[in-house]
């Protein structure tokens, strides 16, 4: 048999990854042979609210709203106004909205979604949505989510906008699997809120670099929030398994798998004061003064990554989602609405741990 016959294409790899996730989710019987499994097209949609891989790339263009200005709150509001009709239509019959900010830790404002950016989201939605609005986070910090709400100025939002602040780490959970050491299935606890198909999830992310997957934006903000941290055991760390500074670290694969069941409805990126260098916690500020929003979080993160000065095609979980048809990841098919892209282009410093892996030294 020739070498060519032995080789696997990138598409074959993605199909295999998609089926392995479906098997873990739906309980493929131990010892079942691959030929006994139904083809990918016949695998049922998960019970959650994910963006199931179709392995057919998205052809339709995507729209990403882009605003540059001197007021973080107004930037976000104007970004949403540019796509107002489609955002309002996307809510449909859903009766609750969850705004999910980023509090990877609770005592460093630069690493968190600024409260005025969230006010911009609420300024837009409160007059247009009569149902319940929640702000929910599941911090990785053992100080607890409400320490973040207090330290970052979120507590007044409850009265200002008639909403509820929630610690998602205190919500019920279910078990799912990710890849562990040696690519073996590793059980983790997933917060049920992120699987609720009746909940409209807004990822209110911070524009930051990351020390394992280069950038962290709207998708990772939700996907890595879903594993539970009960303040005794933190399952978020289990998605990383090992911590090699490589382009193909297992975290990319686990993000891709989690997205089959968990996916934001709307992505918003707070890039007013962004972070470069040793993110997602220890980086340095970038006075970017940007806000972005899109109903296609993959397109949103792809454009944001490009604006940060990186090649989104080099980030495995983004390129895998693009090739698997989970959103629009081709820059040529992403339409920026508003600010001129050339006026919003930066050259962020990457984490020092990834300079060699991504040839950025």
Looking at residue 243, its pLDDT comes to: 63
Q: Which of these ranges, 37-46, 165-174, 347-356, has the smallest mean pLDDT?
A: 37-46
- Whether residue 181 is predicted with pLDDT greater than 50 in this model: the reply is yes
CA gap 188, 197 in Å, rounded: 20
CB 94 within 8 A of CB 200: yes
CB contact at 8 A, 67 and 270: no
Asked if 347 contacts 309 with a C-beta cutoff of 8 angstroms, the reply is yes
* Euclidean distance between CA atoms 160 and 196, whole angstroms: 26
pLDDT at 354 > cutoff 50: yes
DSSP string, 71-126: -HHHHHHHHHHTTHHHHHHHHTT--EEEEE---SSSS-GGGS--HHHHHHHHHHHG
pLDDT in tens, 52-94: 999 999 999 999 999 999 999 999 999 999 999 999 999 999 9
Q: Is pLDDT larger for residue 13 or for residue 137? A: 137
DSSP 228: -
On the question of pLDDT at 39 being above 50, the answer is no
Quote the DSSP letter at residue 46. Answer: P
pLDDT given for residue 361 in this prediction: 74
Per the CB < 8 A criterion, the answer to whether 209 and 283 are in contact is yes
Q: List the helix and strand counts (H, then E) for the chain.
A: 11, 12
What sections of the chain are H helices per DSSP? 3-6, 10-26, 72-81, 84-91, 115-125, 145-151, 157-161, 218-223, 250-258, 297-307, 316-323
Cα distance between residue 267 and residue 235, in whole Å: 24
Q: Burial level of 205, CB count in 10 A (0-12/13-18/19+)?
A: buried
CA distance 68 to 338: 9
Mean residue pLDDT across the chain? 88
pLDDT of residue 183: 82
> In this predicted structure, what is the pLDDT of residue 31?
33
For the purposes of burial, counting CB atoms within 10 Å of the CB of 69, is it exposed (0-12), middle (13-18) or buried (19 or more)? middle
Return the DSSP state at 29: P
At 273 the pLDDT is 98
Q: Could you tell me which residue, 152 or 48, shows the higher pLDDT?
A: 152
Distances (CA, A) of 94 to 90, 133, 197, 199, 201: 9, 11, 9, 6, 10
Instruction: Give the rounded percent of residues in the chain with a pLDDT score beyond 90.
Output: 82
Domain ranges of the chain: 3-354
With 70 as the cut, is the pLDDT of residue 16 above it? no
Q: Sorting pLDDT into bands at 50, 70 and 90, what band is 353?
A: very high
Q: How many CB atoms lie within 10 A of CB 239?
A: 23
Band of residue 323 on the pLDDT scale cut at 50, 70, 90: very high
Is the pLDDT score of 28 beyond 70? Answer: no
Mean pLDDT, rounded, for 173-180: 95
Chain centroid offset of residue 236 CA: 14
Cβ-based neighbours of 122, under 8 Å, separated by 6 or more: 99, 133, 157, 160, 161, 163
The least confident of 86-95, 124-133, 177-186 is: 177-186
Summarize pLDDT for 226-282 with one digit per residue, the tens. 999 999 999 999 998 766 788 999 999 999 999 999 999 999 999 999 999 999 999
pLDDT tens-digit series, residues 56-67: 999 999 999 999
pTM: 0.88
Q: What is the mean pLDDT of residues 115-119?
A: 98
């Amino acid at each position: 048999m020739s070498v060519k016959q032995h080789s696997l294409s990138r598409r074959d790899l993605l199909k295999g990854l998609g089926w392995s996730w479906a098997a873990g989710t739906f309980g493929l019987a131990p010892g079942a042979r691959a030929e006994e499994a139904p083809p990918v097209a016949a695998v049922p949609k998960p019970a959650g609210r994910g963006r199931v891989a179709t392995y057919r790339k998205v052809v339709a263009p995507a729209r990403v709203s882009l605003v540059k200005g001197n007021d973080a709150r107004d930037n976000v509001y104007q970004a949403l106004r540019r796509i107002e009709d489609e955002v309002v239509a996307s809510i449909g019959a859903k009766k609750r909205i969850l705004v999910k900010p980023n509090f990877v830790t609770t005592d460093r404002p630069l690493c968190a979604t600024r409260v005025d950016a969230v006010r911009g989201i609420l300024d837009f939605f409160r007059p247009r949505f009569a149902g319940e609005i929640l702000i929910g986070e599941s911090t990785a910090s053992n100080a607890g989510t409400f320490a973040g709400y207090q330290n970052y100025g979120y507590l007044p939002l409850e009265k200002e906008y008639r909403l509820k602040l929630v610690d998602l780490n205190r919500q019920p959970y279910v078990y799912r699997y990710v890849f562990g050491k040696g690519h073996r299935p590793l059980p983790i606890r997933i917060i049920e809120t992120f699987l609720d198909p009746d909940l409209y999830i807004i990822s209110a992310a911070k524009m930051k670099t990351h020390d394992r997957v280069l950038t962290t934006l709207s998708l990772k903000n939700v996907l890595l929030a879903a594993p539970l941290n009960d303040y005794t055991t933190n399952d978020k760390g289990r998605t990383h398994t090992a911590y090699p500074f490589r382009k193909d670290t297992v975290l990319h694969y686990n993000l891709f798998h989690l997205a089959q069941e968990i996916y934001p409805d709307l992505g918003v990126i707070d890039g007013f004061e962004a972070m470069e260098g040793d993110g997602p916690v220890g980086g340095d500020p970038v006075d970017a003064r940007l806000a972005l929003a899109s109903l296609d979080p993959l397109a949103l993160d792809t454009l944001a990554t490009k604006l940060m000065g990186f090649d989104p095609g080099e980030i495995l979980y983004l390129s895998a989602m693009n090739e698997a048809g989970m959103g629009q990841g081709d820059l040529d098919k992403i339409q920026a609405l508003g600010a001129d892209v050339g006026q919003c282009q930066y050259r962020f410093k990457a984490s020092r741990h990834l300079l060699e892996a991504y040839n950025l030294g």
